[in-house]
Amino acid sequence: MNPVNYLYLAALLFTIGAAGVLIRRNAIVIFMCVELMLNACNLAFVTFARLHGNLDGQIIAFFTMVVAAAEVVVGLAIIVTIFRSRHSASVDDAGLLKL
Amino acid sequence: MENLIGLLVLAPLLGAGVLLCGGRRLDRSGPWLGTLLAAVSFALGVVLFADMLGKGGEERALDVTVFQWVPVGGFRADVGFHLDQLSMTFVLLITGVGSLIHLYSVGYMAHDERKRRFFGYLNLFLAAMLLLVLADNYLLLYVGWEGVGLASYLLIGFWQHKPSAATAAKKAFLVNRVGDMGLSIAIMLLFTTFGTFAFDPVLTRATDAGEGKLTAVALMLLLAACGKSAQVPLQSWLGDAMEGPTPVSALIHAATMVTAGVYLITRSGAVFDAAPDAQTAVVTVGAVTLLFGAIVGCAKDDIKKALAGSTMSQIGYMILAAGLGPIGYVFAIMHLVTHGFFKAGLFLGAGSVMHGMNDEVDMRRYGGLRTYMPVTFVTFGLGYLAIIGFPGLSGFFSKDKIIEAAFAKGGTEGWILGGAALLGAAITAYYMTRVMLLTFFGEKRWQPDAEGEMPHPHESPRTMTVPMIVLAFGSVFAGGLFSINDTFLKWLEPVTGHEEGHSPVSALTVTAATMVVLVIGVAIAWAQYGRRPVPVTAPRGSLLTRAARRDLLQDDFNHVVLVRGGEHLTRSLVYVDHSLVDGVVNGTAASVGGLSGRMRKLQNGYARSYAVSMFGGAAVLIAATLLMRAV
Amino acid sequence: MIAPSLAASAASTTSTGEAVQFWILAVVAVLGALGAVLMRKAVHSALSLAGTMIVLAVFYLANGAYFLGVVQIVVYTGAIMMLFLFVVMLVGVTAADSLKETIKGQRWLAGLCVLGFGILLMAGISNASLKEWNGVGRANAGGNVEGLASLIFTKYVFAFEITGALLITAAVGAMVLTHRERTERAATQRERAEQRVREGKQVTPLPAPGVYARHNAVDIPGLLPDGTASDLTVSPTLRARGQVRDVSGEALQDLKALEQRSSEWLERGRSEDADANGKGAGK
């Protein structure tokens, strides 16, 4: 088997995650789908590291994880705040800036 | 001395500013302040005149540049004054007669609530007119020209509570605009031709330009003169301008406004001399107007309108003379000055009569006033004798010279012009005699006024009679003084130039002919109005009379040709504007609006929709990148 | 777990074991991802996602990223996903998501974009000629963690410091966002009691859940005297989630059976009486 298959898998997971982001309304689920996309990227990076024979790809994946952790913390805080004031976690409801 | 010229203009301008902005505090002192400033201006004029007399003929002109007005690149327009003999004559006439009219107004407007404003306007009028005649370039002259138009508008419409006055003011303003447009075009043409506005380079180099161009300039100047001086075809405003207070009429007709056209043509003499075709047009306009005005004057029963017709006619004489070229310039100005005296006197007399007759203007309701208003009668009578050209009085000398000059034009043209001038003299004698007889002679035909009150004619107060007496002196002696030793000719010749024409008939013959037609005119008037009783209501009259009562159908002509035509033009333009211009504009707006309305739906406020757009965009970018790599 | 290929360089195929592992676990990962996207309840989504992440951790290990594999399990699956679950409990508990689309054309457009994007990615990957690869064996020779550490603290030290700052900022940001300043004094117990009396809606405390002597769980509504369930007795959150276990039907059945038995017993007694007293009342 060629490790390129990992890349195909990563692409598939990324695409599924993107579809989730576009289709789901619950902000938390959307967020999870974003995480899925990030993980797919990480898989691709790790695979790239293997294909290239150095560890830089893994480093990038590591940084991605750190940034994702930070993002999750802030994002969930925002969701909690929005839910407190609007009693809804649906992204369709947060449309006040619309005309 | 140079500074005095500026002060000369500044004094009445200051008066206008103070009186118009001063508020109620000046209500009582305002009239005297205005009169004082006009008199100051006159005094300055006299000082400058004395100074000028002390110099030789060629060195008399004074030039002073006050400040640079618009210095832009090669374009220069300065505020500068040029005082030569021609301007001096006008300055003395304007400030002198103007001061007298101010003085008269103090009495005439004594009971008017808004007299402060009235004197402010009068001062503005003087200032604008002085600026006009003192300017050393055409652009500044144009400023004065427009100032005169504005002041005349304000004064004619002074009694704006009367719709007729407001309309008359508007009419005067609009008709004047036509002439003003001519002047502005002429100035632009001069600038493109000579690259400057100043009189000196333009007039000395006039012949450098082609005759065609000069003819165009001259015709445009003539149009301007027609507007301001109420010459055919732009004369229609003058009759209606009688809606203003009588001193205003006197000011417009004698000292300011209508003389501006004559001044313009005389000042631009070099241009006209180089454009014979334009001169023909000028004399034609003059001849037509002098007859036109005279005929209108015969038919009017309103004393002021009869005098207005007379003014039109007399200015026609001046324009005719000015159109004759160097033969006539001097006499045009001479007649202008003498006319200034006797026409101001006549108008002030008419105002005095109206003052005594409860503002009645219909001459058929006067009659027999000579015993009630002796001073008015005598001064008016002297003005009357002067205007018809009674031997020895002012009008005799000046008008006679013009008729001679007309004959001296030579050829068929000379005969026609001379004949027209003679005929005009006869008609003048007729209608002025008619005015005199209707007003001061015959039985009393007084009628109660609108409130049912019979008039109690009385002599006017001192402030009104004194100016009339002074003007009567001018009417009697000015012409004689000017003509002895050709004083006026010698005075003005350095500026306008002069040449003797080759008259086919001798001067004596012309004088004799003038006397004959004078007697005929007076005799006919006497036969019609002196010997028979005058009906209080005007008889229907012949076709010509009826036409003349309607200003020879001038207004009807204007209405049919200009107003209707203008309306049709406007309507079609409005249609084009609505359908074509608005169509394009509105169509653009509607299409943009519609497009935006559709585009707006993309902005639906749903984060997920935006996410789709971003995602689609990312997909397109990746596709583009891959394609680029593939290529 | 099958050991990854540690071939030094220029390998062209992996071991069979890894291939088998990949094909099995890839299916699991895709199923987990689909579950995360398609499950109606956020909790289920989160659990599916956790499964996918564990699979991904295995793949990291298979690709020679030992450190990342462990971090993926400990940090991602262990911490971040649990954080998600916490928030789901806090926020998204009221009801399951409706999967019905409300924005017109959104699903079509999304499908189109996703499909196009996926095809593009696949095409891009297949377009790259990746017949041979190096493998991380040499890079991991001194130990994977040591290799990563030497890179992080040399080549990527600046980025590393910045991520540290980012984490601190995120922590502070989360606190600031969720912190709620109390601007007014909290109502005391007395005040609340007075307010309840004033409003007159529910003066007494809410009735307790559970059915006496049978159930004492909080998700079981108490029964009214006629045997029907009282909504007041269970928490609104449970009601909103539809997690109320209604036992009223059971209770009513019990009651009915009890009545029947007692009436049967009474019938028997009455018939004995009837026998004694001759004709009696029918009922």
CB contact under 8 A, B604 and C120: no
From residue C56, how far is each of A2, C63, C69, C76 by CA, in Å? 17, 10, 8, 11
pLDDT band at C281 (very low <50, low <70, confident <90, very high): very low
Looking at the partner chain, which of A18, A94, A98 has a beta carbon nearest the beta carbon of B604? Answer: A98
What residues of C are in contact with residue A28 (Cβ under 8 Å)? Answer: 42, 46, 84, 87-88, 91-92
Given the structure tokens 């020209």, which residue do they identify? B145
Per-residue pLDDT at C282 exceeds 60: no
Instruction: Report the SS3 class of residue C222.
Output: coil
pLDDT of residue C3: 45
User: Residue A8 belongs to what domain range?
Assistant: 4-86
Model pLDDT, residue B457: 82
Q: Which of B598, B599, B608, B622 to mutate to test the interface with A (most CBs of A within 10 A)?
A: B608
For A73, which of C137, C148, C171 is closest by C-beta distance? C171
C224 is a domain residue = yes
Give me the residues of B, 569-608, that contact C with CB < 8 A. 604, 606, 608
Give the per-residue pLDDT at B124: 93
Q: B288: pLDDT confidence band, cut at 50, 70 and 90?
A: very high
The CA R_g of chain C, rounded to the nearest whole Å, is 32
DSSP H or E stretch at residue B69: strand B62-72
The domain spanning residue A81 has which CATH number? 1.10.287.3510
Is there a contact between A53 and C7 (Cβ–Cβ < 8 Å)?
no
In this complex, is the C-beta atom of C205 within 8 Å of any C-beta atom belonging to chain B?
A: no
Give the domain extent around C224.
206-282
Please give the pLDDT value at position C283: 43
- Same domain assignment for residues C259 and C173: no
Residue B444 has pLDDT above 90, yes or no: no
Q: Nearest CA to CA, how far is B589 from chain C (Å)?
A: 29
Residue C138 in domain: no
Residue C105 domain-assigned? no
Pair (C25, C161) in one structural domain: yes
In a domain, A99, yes or no: no
Confidence of residue C59 (pLDDT cuts 50, 70, 90): very high
Nearest to A77 among C37, C118, C174 (CB): C174
Confidence category of residue B504, pLDDT binned at 50, 70, 90: confident
DSSP-assigned beta bridge partners for residue B302: B362
Cross-chain Cβ contact A91/B615 below 8 Å: no
Question: Per the domain annotation, does A66 fall within a domain?
Answer: yes
Res B353 pLDDT > 80: yes
B53 has a pLDDT exceeding 50: yes
Same domain, C173 and C210: no
Q: What pLDDT is recorded for position C206?
A: 82
**C166 and C225, same domain (yes or no):** no
Confidence category of residue B119, pLDDT binned at 50, 70, 90: very high
Domain count, chain A: 1
Residue A18, CA distances (Å) to A32, B614, B619, C46 in order = 11, 11, 12, 16
The Cα B21–Cα B17 span in angstroms is 6
CA distance C110 to chain B (A): 6
* pLDDT reported for residue A87: 76
Domain annotation covers residue C2: no
Q: Does residue B44 register a pLDDT over 50?
A: yes
pLDDT of residue B602: 77
Q: Report CA-CA distances (Å) from B548 to A6, B197, B230, B377, B449.
A: 111, 41, 16, 27, 26
Nearest CA in chain A to B601: A99
Residue C1 has pLDDT above 70, yes or no: no
Judged on CB neighbours under 10 Å (0-12, 13-18, 19+), B497 is middle
Residue C123 placed within a domain: no
Tell me if C65 and A9 make a contact (CB, 8 A cut-off). no
Average pLDDT over residues A63-84: 89
> What is the average pLDDT across A24-48?
92
Instruction: Note the pTM of the prediction, 2 decimals.
Output: 0.62
User: Which pLDDT tens digit goes with each residue over B299-346?
Assistant: 888 888 889 889 999 999 999 999 988 888 888 999 999 998 888 889
DSSP C283: -
Name the residue with higher pLDDT: B539 or B258. Answer: B258
CA atoms within 13 A on the CB side of C247: 19
Distance between CA A28 and CA C48 in Å, rounded? Answer: 14
pLDDT in the model for residue A1: 79
| Per-residue model confidence as pLDDT tens digits over B83-94 | 888 899 999 999
pLDDT of residue B263: 92
Whether residue B622 has pLDDT greater than 80: yes
Residue B215's SS3 state is helix
pLDDT higher than 50, residue B580: yes
* pLDDT given for residue C97 in this prediction: 64
Q: How confident is the model at residue C275 (pLDDT cuts 50, 70, 90)?
A: low
Mean pLDDT of all residues in chain A?
88
pLDDT tens-digit map of C94-135: 555 666 777 778 888 889 999 999 998 888 888 877 777 777
Which residue in chain A has the smallest CA separation from B605?
Answer: A98
Amino acid making up residue C113: C
Residues of B with Cβ-Cβ distance to C109 under 8 angstroms:
612, 616
Chain C hits for A71, CB-CB cut-off 8 Å, are: 170
Flag whether pLDDT at C23 surpasses 90: yes
Q: What is the mean pLDDT of chain C?
A: 82
Residue C98's pLDDT is: 66
Q: What is the pLDDT of residue A97?
A: 61
- Indicate if C234 and C277 belong to the same structural domain: yes
pLDDT(A7) > 60:
yes
Q: What is the per-residue pLDDT for C93? A: 59
Residue A99 has pLDDT above 80, yes or no: no
C34 and C160 inside one domain:
yes
**Contact flag C117-B604 (C-beta cutoff 8 Å):** no
Mean pLDDT of C65-80: 90
B412 touching A, CB under 8 A?
Answer: no
- Say if C90 falls within a structural domain: yes
Q: Is residue A79 part of a domain?
A: yes
Is B607 part of the contact surface with chain A (CB cutoff 8 Å)? yes
Per-residue confidence band for B439, with pLDDT thresholds at 50, 70 and 90: confident
From the CA of A70, how many Å to the nearest CA of chain B? Answer: 22
Q: What is the pLDDT of residue C156?
A: 92
Question: What is the C-alpha end-to-end distance of chain C, expressed in Å?
Answer: 77
User: Does residue C74 lie within any of the structural domains?
Assistant: yes
How many whole angstroms from its chain centre is CA B8?
Answer: 21
> Exposed (0-12), middle (13-18) or buried (19+): which is B321, by Cβ within 10 Å?
buried
Report the candidate in B139, B143, B1 with the shortest Cα–Cα distance to residue B63: B1
**Partners of A26 in the beta sheet?**
A90
In a shared domain, residues C32 and C170:
yes
Which of the four pLDDT bands, split at 50, 70 and 90, describes residue B556? Answer: confident
pLDDT of amino acid B182: 92
Query: C222 — phi, psi (to 5°)?
Result: -70, 160
ω into residue B233 within 30 of 0, thus cis?
Answer: yes
Average pLDDT over residues C193-199: 87
- Give me the mean pLDDT over the B577-600 stretch: 90
Do both C210 and C88 map to the same domain? Answer: no
Question: Total structural domains in chain C?
Answer: 2
Asked, for residue C56, whether it belongs to a domain, the answer is yes
State the complex-level ipTM: 0.91
Least confident of B183-187, B246-250, C5-9, C175-179: C5-9
Q: B406 burial class (0-12, 13-18, 19+ CB within 10 angstroms)?
A: buried
Total count of residues recorded for chain C: 283
**Four-residue CA torsion sign, B557, B562, B563, B568:** positive
Q: Is residue C172 domain-shared with residue C50, that is, in the same domain? A: yes
What average pLDDT is seen over chain B? 87
Does residue C174 carry a pLDDT above 50? yes
pLDDT-based confidence at residue C7 (cuts at 50, 70, 90): very low
d(CA B488, CA B486): 6
